Structure 1
Amino acid sequence: MSPSSPGFWRSPVRGTWFTAVLGTVLLFGMTLLFVTGLLSYAAYNPDLAAVNDKTPDKGLLGFYLFDWPTDPHWLYRLNQGLHVTVGIALIPVLLAKLWSVLPKLFALPPVRSVSHALERLSLLLLVGGALFEFATGVLNIQLEYLFPGSFYPLHFYGAWVFFGAFVAHAALKLPRTVRVLRERGLREQLRTHDRPPAAEPTVSRRGALGLVGGGSLLLFGTTAGQSFDGWPRATALFAPHGGAEPGKGPGAFQVNKTALSVGVGADRTGEAWRLVVEGRGRTVRLTRADLLGLAQHSADLPIACVEGWSTSDQAWSGVRLRDLAALAGYEDEPPAVLVESLQLRGAFRKAALRDNQVRDARSLLALRVNGADLTPDHGYPARVIVPAAPGVLNTKWVTRLTFGEL
């Protein structure tokens, strides 16, 4: 018996109702992923300077970009926590949906008309795009990114390809989905089959939905904690930065890149270190002692990473970025700033911040955290901390600030 024969696919659980339920969940879930993904991309300020733009030639696909706000200060933490946690929780739903429609892949004839050919092409883009987006996303958040090329353009362009096919598919299938879901009540559907089973069922519809829902809840429960404070963090067993806080003391919070991993040793952060501040025809070189001698300010802010993890609010203290802009000749309206790091390896050795981020009184060149000097892994001798910004824009081991038009 070949896969094109109806009798080959023996499970009575498959059917239009089961597929419609899964499709409805994905309709809302995938839309949320797409929106939070675009917002995450906008938060990187990709139009500000070439150093931030990891997706060149995006053209019309960048129509929605805007100046990322600094309020509320937990905005990026919420957005990226939703994006990653919901994405992981949807994996069982996506796999079950693909399983439910698998027989259609082998249906004969493969193409019945022009419209049918277009529909199958859209399904190729839909299924391929979904699998690609989930695969690249999961590998990235697990710190095991294996695809050739940068994650940013591949995931960005892949999202647009997938969502275009997703919108077309939803427009075609939504009327039928609504009709199928309205035909009979939930309780009745869970107790019956679409057609007489070819074999005794190994699981009921209720069991199948329970299996899918249970798998999603398990993944949610072992991932979501990385975006929360306190005891929930210990439940994030599937997240690289979940579990208990690393160690004790003022610097006992998550670190993505250590100083050693990016080539920042004590020889580069010792007495010879200077911060170079450049701007409107001025260049100022400051030692760490000089910075500590300037007016010190504090802010309670988290660090939130694109990979979905975040810290709780930490008590940072240091010099306001807008005060450093004043030293560079911008006393009234601080402009954007290009921040350069000592790190020798890894992405975002340079990062740009918008003028609204520089102006915010909570945006600091931090020298201390939780009442103690920064540790090397947290960016000693100085790091940037900005409210609501992605973690990579909170540059560590800062060596130069260049204020002006970028």
Structure 2
Amino acid sequence: MRELTSRLPTSPGFWRSPLRGPWLTSVLGLVLLFGVGVLFVTGLLSYAAYNPGLSPVNDKTPDKGLLGFYLFAWPTDPYWLYRLTQGVHVTLGLTLVPVLLGKLWSVVPRLFTLPPVRSVAHGLERISLLLLVGGALFEFATGVLNIQLDYVFPGSFYPLHFYGAWVFFAAFVAHAVLKVPKALRTVRTMRASRDDDLVSPRPDPPTVSRRGALWLVGGGALLMCATNAGRSFDGPLRQTAVLSPHGGPEPGTGPNGFQINKTAAYLGIDPAETTQDAWRLTVTGPGGTVRLDRAELLRMKQYSVALPIACVEGWSTSDQWWRGVRLGDLAALAGFDGHPPDVLVESLQRRGAFRRGALRANQVADPRSLLALHVNGEPLSADHGYPARIIVPGAPGVLNTKWVTRMTFGDLS
């Protein structure tokens, strides 16, 4: 019976690795302490960039209540802000995957300790660990699936990831408050008590040192970074993003040969609706309704601006030269002269989360915000939003609506 018991995960003798111990766990935990903090802040910034306060148009996370305390009007300067914050969020998240797995491996014996609850305080700690481990796996898993455009989870990614982040981070902060002082002492002294529950009472002979294990985890993290980070950069570095669905060479040549997320065909765009005879832009506001075809838009004053596109999946394009009509001029047609308001933008697309998107007044008023008709000197391609698309400095890619068919300026409530 004793021999059988020793073969169960609940027995300390079951876990034989000599690598497990407070020092390895503490080092990995301190790395996660910094990394998860950065992920949380950049994640909140990403959510703010979607202008969720323009409800119910952009808001995919209802009833957030006090959790939306930090929301603000997303700025248009610097124009690369979202490209930076979301690039850091996604690349760092992928980089931390080996660290997270190493940390979970180092503490897995504690998940099987008996009795499972020794006191009220111990029970609360176990619950916090359940939220911590479950929240970490949920956040990293949904994040990786979103990057891969693999939406196998139930419901919308936005509320799932948003609420999951708050649960995970609350448990993470509670755990850090309890464990960081001990972790710092352990790392500083390079030793810990041999009776720690992570230390095997009957370890197998070592095949690698703890420092070697750290090099393995660190090497895995660097590999994840090196094979994904390039999609957030311009030039040769983009070629290194071999594990990214939007990495590597540009998906074409010519003026329109730069990255897209989904094609016009995938999103249900009927080419017959985008012809010169069929397509019209409807602009509505207190001054009435104006309908313009593409030729009439081209006769309006045209402006050019160099801006990238940056998406929630962490990829971005290099700066492209866009040319079209300022959103502020279209607001003036709708009856707003001098102080443009928020605007609701509607697309021809029939599938996808953002068939409608809203922009704040500060985004409409920026002189670089365009209803683009050309890119890099040529008319937009179908996949880049022909006949017309929005381009706004600093806005997430989904708010740069393609195949625009209607713009409503004014109160969106």
Could you say which TM-score interval applies, normalised by the shorter chain? over 0.9
Alignment of 1:115-154 (within 5 A): 115-154=121-160
Corresponding position: 1:326 with 2:327: no
Q: Distance in 2 between matches of 1:195 and 1:136?
A: 34
Task: Tell me which amino acid in the other structure corresponds to 2:186.
Answer: V
Task: Tell me which amino acid in the other structure corresponds to 2:245.
Answer: P
- The gaps in structure 1 that reach 5 residues or longer are 186-192
Q: 2:180 aligns with which of 158, 174, 177?
A: 174
In the TM superposition, what whole-angstrom CA distance separates every residue of 1:137-169 from its partner, at most 9, and x where no partner exists?
A: 101110111011111101000000000000000
Shift of 1:196: 7.8
Task: Tell me which amino acid in the other structure corresponds to 1:227.
Answer: S
Alignment of 1:64-143 (within 5 A): 64-143=70-149
Q: Distance in 2 between matches of 1:180 and 1:197?
A: 22
Corresponding position: 1:401 with 2:407: yes
Shift of 1:199: 1.7
Equivalent residue for 1:236?
241
Q: Distance in 1 between matches of 2:316 and 2:202?
A: 49
Equivalent residue for 2:209?
204
Shift of 1:266: 1.7
Asked if the contact 2:51–2:74 (Cα under 8 Å) also holds between the matched residues in 1, the reply is: yes
Corresponding position: 1:252 with 2:257: yes
Shift of 1:49: 2.7
Asked if the contact 2:15–2:200 (Cα under 8 Å) also holds between the matched residues in 1, the reply is: no
In the TM superposition, what whole-angstrom CA distance separates every residue of 1:59-100 from its partner, at most 9, and x where no partner exists?
A: 111001000000000000001100000000100000110110
Asked if the contact 1:379–1:396 (Cα under 8 Å) also holds between the matched residues in 2, the reply is: yes
Partner SS for 1:161: helix
Q: Distance in 2 between matches of 1:213 and 1:197?
A: 27
Equivalent residue for 1:261?
266
In the TM superposition, what whole-angstrom CA distance separates every residue of 1:91-132 from its partner, at most 9, and x where no partner exists?
A: 000011011011111112211111111000000000000000
Q: Distance in 1 between matches of 2:336 and 2:15?
A: 71
Shift of 1:23: 0.2
Asked if the contact 1:12–1:196 (Cα under 8 Å) also holds between the matched residues in 2, the reply is: no
Partner SS for 2:168: helix
Alignment of 1:275-290 (within 5 A): 275-290=281-296
Percent identity of paired positions between Structure 1 and Structure 2: 72
User: Would you identify which runs of 4 or more consecutive aligned residues in structure 1 move more than 3 Å?
Assistant: 193-197
Asked if the contact 2:323–2:373 (Cα under 8 Å) also holds between the matched residues in 1, the reply is: yes
Q: 1:27 aligns with which of 26, 33, 37?
A: 33
Q: Distance in 1 between matches of 2:270 and 2:109?
A: 58
Task: Tell me which amino acid in the other structure corresponds to 1:333.
Answer: H
- The gaps in structure 2 that reach 5 residues or longer are 1-5, 192-197
Shift of 1:219: 0.6
Asked if the contact 2:17–2:200 (Cα under 8 Å) also holds between the matched residues in 1, the reply is: no
Q: Distance in 2 between matches of 1:110 and 1:346?
A: 45
Corresponding position: 1:227 with 2:232: yes
Partner SS for 2:344: strand
> Once superposed, what is the RMSD of the aligned Cα atoms?
1.3
Q: Distance in 1 between matches of 2:299 and 2:357?
A: 26
Task: Tell me which amino acid in the other structure corresponds to 1:118.
Answer: L
Alignment of 1:296-315 (within 5 A): 296-315=302-321
TM-score, L = length of structure 1: 0.96
Equivalent residue for 1:165?
171
Stretch moving more, 291-300 or 99-108: 99-108
Aligned CA distance change for structure 1 residues 196 and 9 (closer, same or farther; 3 Å): closer
TM-score, L = length of structure 2: 0.95
Q: Distance in 1 between matches of 2:132 and 2:103?
A: 12
